[in-house]
């Protein structure tokens, strides 16, 4: 049975931490780079999983 909201405390806490937005100009570029990295990582993982089947 699922505990309601299990695991949701993490994104809420980080959202709250992100609210006082200041500073770095290129944070959007960093975020895009991280997102692209995660997508590439996911694609690699799936390709390896398929190869192992």
Q: Using CB under 8 A as the criterion, which residues of the chain lie in contact with other proteins when the complex forms?
A: 1-15, 17-19, 21, 27-28, 30-32, 34-35, 38-39, 41-42, 45-46, 49
State the minimum distance, in angstroms, from the CB of residue 24 to other proteins: 8
Distance from C-alpha of 19 to C-alpha of 26, rounded to nearest angstrom: 17
State the minimum distance, in angstroms, from the CB of residue 51 to other proteins: 14
CB nearer to other proteins: give 19 or 51: 19
Q: 36: phi > 0 → left, psi -120 to 50 → alpha, else beta; which?
A: alpha
DSSP letter at 6? T
């Amino acid at each position: 049975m699922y505990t309601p909201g299990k695991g949701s405390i993490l994104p809420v806490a980080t959202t709250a931490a992100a609210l006082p937005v200041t500073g770095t100009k290129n944070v959007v570029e960093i975020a895009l780079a991280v997102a692209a990295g995660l997508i590439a990582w996911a694609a690699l993982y799936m390709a390896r999983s398929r190869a192992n089947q």
